[in-house]
Amino acid sequence: MKIAIFTFLLFITSNALACEKVIKIIDGDTIETSITGRIRILGIDSFDKIPNRVQKQAKRTGFSNKDIIHLREVGKDFATETLANKCIQLGTDYKDIDIYGRKLRYIIVDGADYSLSIIKQGLAMPYCEDKKVKNFKKYNEASLWRCK
């Protein structure tokens, strides 16, 4: 009986101490964590540096290519301030992995939906290529640049 209680307490303690910690910020919508690894954050499209994507985002927003590249850096800074070295909670949706092998997850940090936060800051847009994610409507309504 004592062994069973000790094992149970050890299990509870180790689970309570487990932390999905953000260890690297790639950009506004991609991070790495201590447990899951590389994550593509669901529902958002942060500003890019790849030339053809920059042009597409510039057309969608009305900004110049230079502005898009600047917004990418500001978005990455926002992600760093909001997520770096923090314990986060992950949420899933209907798809688990993207075509690049990254886990697709919602991020909750300090009780807040990270995707909604970065959209409200104007540093990301709803990801229009996948309108099936459960929070798409909420993200689209909060965005300066809505999907059609």
pLDDT digits over 8-61, tens only?
333 433 444 579 999 999 999 999 999 999 999 999 999 999 999 999 999 999
**In the beta sheet, which residues pair with residue 32?**
24, 38
Q: At what angle do helices 51-61 and 65-83 cross, to 10 degrees?
A: 100
Lookup: tokens for 46:
């942060």
Residues 6+ apart with CB under 8 A from 59: none
Mean pLDDT of the chain: 90
pLDDT higher than threshold 60 for residue 4: no
pLDDT digits over 112-124, tens only?
999 999 999 999 9
pTM for this model (two decimals): 0.86
Q: How many CB atoms lie within 10 A of CB 3?
A: 7
Report in angstroms the alpha-carbon separations of 97 from 17, 41, 42: 26, 11, 11
